[in-house]
Structure formats: structure tokens, C-alpha cells
Amino acid sequence: MTSELGSFARATIVERKPEIIRRVIADNAYPPEIVAALEAFRDEIASGLIAPLSEGAPDVAFWNERQAQYANKTWLEVPWYFAETYFYRRLLEAARYFQPGPWQGVAPFAPQKRAQEAAAIVQLATVWAAIEQLPPDERFVLLLHSALWGNRADLSNFTVKESAHRGLEAHTERDNLLIDDTETVLAFFSQRIERILTDEEKSVLSVESVEEVAFINDNVGSDSLFDLALADFLLTQGWAQRVVFYLKNQPFFVSDAMPEDIRLVIQQLQAAPEPTVAALGHRLHNALLPTSYSLLLTTDPFWTSCLSFWDLPPELHAGLSRASLIILKGDVNYRRLLDDRHWPHHTPVKHADANFPRPYLVLRTLKGEIAVSLKPGQAEALSADEPDWLINGKRGIIQLVRTPQMDEVTFITTIDCKFPYDDEQAWQSIVIQGATISDNAAFMVLYEICRAPVGKASAALRHKMLEFWATQYSHPISLIVVEAGKAIIDQTDLPMGTVLKYMDRITPYCGLYNALAIVYFACDDITGEVDKKVSYQKNGGITAQPRNPPDAELAPFERSIRLRVE
């Protein structure tokens, strides 16, 4: 939240956003009315309430619906990711980016982008000929790491001091990687899994042809320039048949890349005086031609929205599903992957991510206050040595995620009567994992918390676990089920009428057998009315469609939970 005192999120709103507005005014010859609108917006950020959009544009209804959730709130009282994304949409309104007239379609950040792109090409030209002489494996590793460290360049983040050009010195940076799956990534592409993986890992990382690689891109400059260089390598070496860039549809986070930015950079590469750099530009240009279409530039309004990857539109999900690998670039995409939550640092990423449709590779320099998949104690040690390690851009992650998502039945079988009450790290991970699998799996975790076997967990511990569960998962019936869970822990009965009413609220959501079980056990069913309600459930009384239809066949667990309730 932007309200967290001393947080990077708060500093983003208080310091960075006003400076971005000041720079936009300085870089563009706006007329007085646009300057006044930008200055009024800056004043609103400092002390006013968040206002809705007032212009006419296709996305206004979408944004105002979400802004309405924070009516009468200031910019320091809302979720960080919403505040950041809505800031850029409001800035475009003030700059009349969508309105007819001389400023329609004029990107407020274009001058900063062009300077960053020019500097990156000059730097690349000094080393490109030597890079092309490297053996393929060495060249791939260098380009992979350069694509990571090139992401340090972010015009919206003034706190990052590390130079993006140090991506060219990738061999000196390995100690700064918190997670380094370089060899596994190399094996993924070169299909040499046999020599580095165990039998168990081979079953997960099966050898398959890499037909399409999707880049979810981040910034212009060194960042996207090395994305292009890596894409060129994959195509020319035959390591991929097609590369797709997913880019922003409008100016966003100052330096985020749009299709026109990529085309402009390719033109500049073609015009470079160095023959090898010009040849790179020509190859990329040809890859974009309709006769080839081996490099595709695509975009969608989702990329500049406040939505996380949990809300990925079906058409984008389908497009990404065609890729053999998704390369996820940058800090903002990482935040979207984890729903911008403060997960415990030891949480496995696959327990916290948005169930991506295909294997994905995280290339991220740390410029935001979340990180997962770290070793126990690693975050604490980093904080002791370097308090700003999460935001200073020094550290990086190269992480290949291929672990298949556990299905609901397997997950429930794994924890049923085997819950690790005495291992806080383990039970926190299970809470998080259950919330990512299905609603019924999440409520199964809560069931295990509330109805712990005698002597396994104290009431105080179970209340602590319940509170953690409530921070990691939400559903329209969460509050009433949590109330029932507390009653079970405290060994107090809810009134039977309340339980019956709660069961009526749960029944429209098909498949939430564990939620029903928790409510069932929260009262003393003296008259048998609750049993009748359960029998109604058992005999097909629920006819409504599920909130999130599960992919897995639930029949085995349906039988087990009904037997348990009976």
C-alpha cells in the first residue's frame, strides 16, 4: 500500500511521480492549458483526493469503475500497483494524448526514450563485433545476462544507480544473481537436458522443440535492445522458429517499450556505421516482413491496465499458450505475476504466481519490494548487509519455472490429516499454494487449520494460521467461513439458524465442499436441520454454475468430504 510509512511504494508517490510530471513539462513544448492540467494533477497527488477520468476515451469506463473503489481516498491510501498504473493514465489525459488536436498521439516521454535508445546503440556498437565471434553457447549466456542487466535502465525509477550498460559485462555480475538458472535455460534451448538434470527433473523439463518464444517486454534502451539481440540469436541459430514481443499499447512507466519504439530502434541499427550492427538491424527488419513473420510485435490494452496476470484476458492467455517459453522481463511484470503482494520471501514462485499457461523465464533486476523463491534466511541476511537490496537495482533473478501446477485432488490428498502444524514455513507455503490451485483447495487448508487433531496445535496457533490464511485468499463467502472457523477453534457453537443461513449463501458456489464442512462443524445440530441441508447438497441440490470451474475431476474428494460431514 502507498500508505506504508518508509516504504518504497510511498516514496514512489511522494517523490517520483511529481518529478516525472516536472520532467514531462520540461521536455515538451506544451501550451499553457496542458501545463496547467499537469500542474493541477501534480497538486492532486500531493494533497488531493484521487479524481476519476473526465475525458472521452474507450477505456474511461474501465478506469473509473476501479477508481470508484477508492472514492474519497488520497494517493497515499490505495494499493501501490493501482496508484502507479492510474497515474500514467491520468497523465495521458492531462497531456491530451487521446484527444483530437496537435497533441493527440504525442508520447509525453518520447524525448527521454530517444536519448536512452541512442546511448544504448552507441554502447552496443563498441562490442557487437566481438560478441558475434563467440561460440553459440557463450554468446547465448552473454546475451541472456545482458537482457537481464539491461533492465536496470528504467526512466521511471530515479533510485536505481547501477548502469544498464553493465549488462555488457555479464561475466562480472554472477555474484549479484539471487537465483541463477542459466545452465537450465541453456539446456532448455539446446536440448542437452540429459547431461545436467536428474531423472526427476527430466520428467518436468521434457525435451520439446522450441517453436515460439514470447517476450513480455519492459523498457526501451539497453533493455529492449538486448531483447532484440537475443531474439536475433534464437532465430538465426534455429533455437526458435518464431519470437513474439508483447509490448505496451500507449505510453506507460515512462520508458516502457511500444511497437513504434522497437521499429525505430531497428531502423537506427540498420543505419549504424558499423557493418555488424547494421547487419543485425537488417536481419531484424527482414524478420518483421510479412514474408517471414518470424518476429512479431503485438500489443493489448491489458499491458497498460491495473490488472495482474491473475486477470489475464482469454485472448492473451490463448496467445501466450502457443509459446514454448514466455520470457518475463522486468519488475512491473514480476509484480503482476505475484499479484503485487508481500509474499514471504521463501515462498516458491509456483505457489504464488498466476498459473501461467506455459513455462516462463523471469529476467528481473530488483526494483520493487517483493521477491520469492529465496532460500530460508537469505532475505534476512541481505537486509542486514544492504537494507535497500530489494529496490536498488543491484540484484537480479534468472529463474526458469516449469514445475507443473498440482491439481486439486492431489493437493487435498497431500495435506489431508498430514498438515504441518509445527512448521511455520511449511504451513504458510501450503496456505499460499492452496489459494493458487482452487477455491475448494483454499478452504480445505482452512478446514485443516480449524479442525486440527487434538494436541497438534493450540488455539492461539490456529488463530494465527487463520489470520494468515485470510491475508492470502479472498472469496465472497470468506468472511462467514472464517467466522465459523473461529467458532470451531474457540469451541463455541454458532446458532443453528446462522449456520443454515450461511450454508444457503455457500450453496450457489458449486464444489465448495470444504467451506460447507467448516460451517457444518460450527454448530451443535440438535434438531438435525443442518444434516438435512448437507443431505440436500449430497443429492444434487446445488444447480448454479461454479465461480471458477475447476479443471480437475473432483469426484474422489467430493465423496471424501461428504463422508466426513456425515
101 secondary structure, DSSP code: S
- Give the Cα separation of 373 and 552 in Å (integer): 26
pLDDT in tens, 359-407: 899 999 998 889 999 998 999 999 999 999 998 999 999 999 875 556 7
Cell numbers 544507480 correspond to: 161
- Give the Cα separation of 354 and 99 in Å (integer): 35
Same domain, 449 and 417: yes
pLDDT bracket for residue 524 (50, 70, 90)? confident
- pLDDT, position 507: 82
For residues 163 and 492, the model is more confident at: 492
For residues 161 and 98, the model is more confident at: 98
How many separate domains does the chain show?
Answer: 3
Instruction: Please report whether residue 386 resides in a domain.
Output: no
Same domain, 278 and 134: yes
DSSP structure string for 262-302? HHHHHHHHHT-SSHHHHHHHHHHHHHHSTTT-SEEEEE-GG
pTM over 0.85: no
Same domain, 236 and 142: yes
pLDDT in tens, 278-317: 999 999 999 999 888 899 999 999 999 999 998 888 888 8
- pLDDT, position 564: 35
Domain boundary among 325, 355, 379: 325
- Give the Cα separation of 554 and 560 in Å (integer): 10
Average pLDDT of span 116-134: 94
Whole-number average pLDDT of the chain: 84
Q: What are 188's three cell numbers?
A: 532448455
Instruction: Please report whether residue 361 resides in a domain.
Output: no
Same domain, 309 and 432: no
Torsion, Cα 489 491 493 499, to 10 degrees, reads 20
pLDDT in tens, 200-233: 444 444 444 468 999 999 999 999 999 999 999 9
Torsion, Cα 348 484 553 472, to 10 degrees, reads -20
Same domain, 87 and 205: no
146-155, 402-411, 476-485 — which is least confidently predicted? 402-411
Instruction: Please report whether residue 353 resides in a domain.
Output: no
Same domain, 280 and 247: yes
Which residue range is the domain that position 51 belongs to?
A: 8-94
Same domain, 164 and 129: yes
Contacts with 31 (C-beta within 8 Å, 6 or more apart), sequence order:
none
Helix (H) / strand (E) element for 148: namely: helix 136-149
